[in-house]
Chains A and B, each alone.
Chain A
Amino acid sequence: RKEVEQDPGPFNVPEGATVAFNCTYSNSASQSFFWYRQDCRKEPKLLMSVYSSGNEDGRFTAQLNRASQYISLLIRDSKLSDSATYLCVVTSGNTPLVFGKGTRLSVIA
């Protein structure tokens, strides 16, 4: 089983739609969780951290389910500019970040 698994997509959604991505991780000792965004031919950039209580940043909501070992990212009111690859990232404290393969999102006008 891969350490971090994501549905590669692509998810093709119309502007204004709500879309959700899930990610599962295999290491139960994992402590920190993140979503990174990577635009085509660009470097990854931190989108948001994922906290146990769940957290929201504008149109983006991240949730963590430790019991089931999955993380989710919800994007409401999708914009064209949200088109990118979303990388799920997991770490066990001071161990290296482990990236998923990413989920590709295309928001269509």
Chain B
Amino acid sequence: EAGVAQSPRYKIIEKRQSVAFWCNPISGHATLYWYQQILGQGPKLLIQFQNNGVVDDSQLPKDRFSAERLKGVDSTLKIQPAKLEDSAVYLCASSFLSSSSYNEQFFGPGTRLTVL
């Protein structure tokens, strides 16, 4: 079974530039998550989608970050403009359902962003 796909794997940009990341979840997974993992930290949830609706974006810095999942399948996360502190690995994860019970989240390989 194919896992969660992400691209690009690496990206280097200068501060104030824009960048976009793409994620394709495991087929049939209704729930998609974007996490930010800064070096030496655990992943922090940025946004959670169920199908094409946002479930939780309380930790998304909405002044510069945006995400969409228009058709309820793949998703893009954009940063505009980027700051130095955005340097991190951006992980996408998906799970079969999101309900009151836990469903295992499967992570993609991540996109490593360096902002200079």
Contact = CB atoms under 8 A, between A and B. Distances in A.
Contact of B107 (A43, A94, A96, A100): A43
Contacts of B56: 96
B55 to A, nearest CB: 9
Contacts of B91: 43-44
Contact of B109 (A43, A96, A97): A43
A99 interface: yes
B13 interface: no
A80 interface: no
Interface residues of A, number: 21
Interface stretch (B42-50, B63-71, B72-80): B42-50
Interface in A27-83: 32, 34, 42-46, 49
Nearest to B4: A43
Interface residues of B, number: 21
Contacts of A34: 102
Given A42-B109, A43-B107, A94 B43 contact: no
B92 to A, nearest CB: 9
Interface of A: 4, 8, 32, 34, 42-46, 49, 87, 89, 91, 93-94, 96-97, 99-102
Interface of B: 33, 40-45, 48, 56, 91, 98-102, 104-105, 107-110
Given A93-B101, A94-B98, 15 more contacts: A8-B40, A32-B102, A42-B109, A43-B109, A44-B107, A46-B105, A87-B43, A89-B42, A93-B100, A93-B102, A94-B99, A94-B100, A99-B44, A101-B42, A102-B41
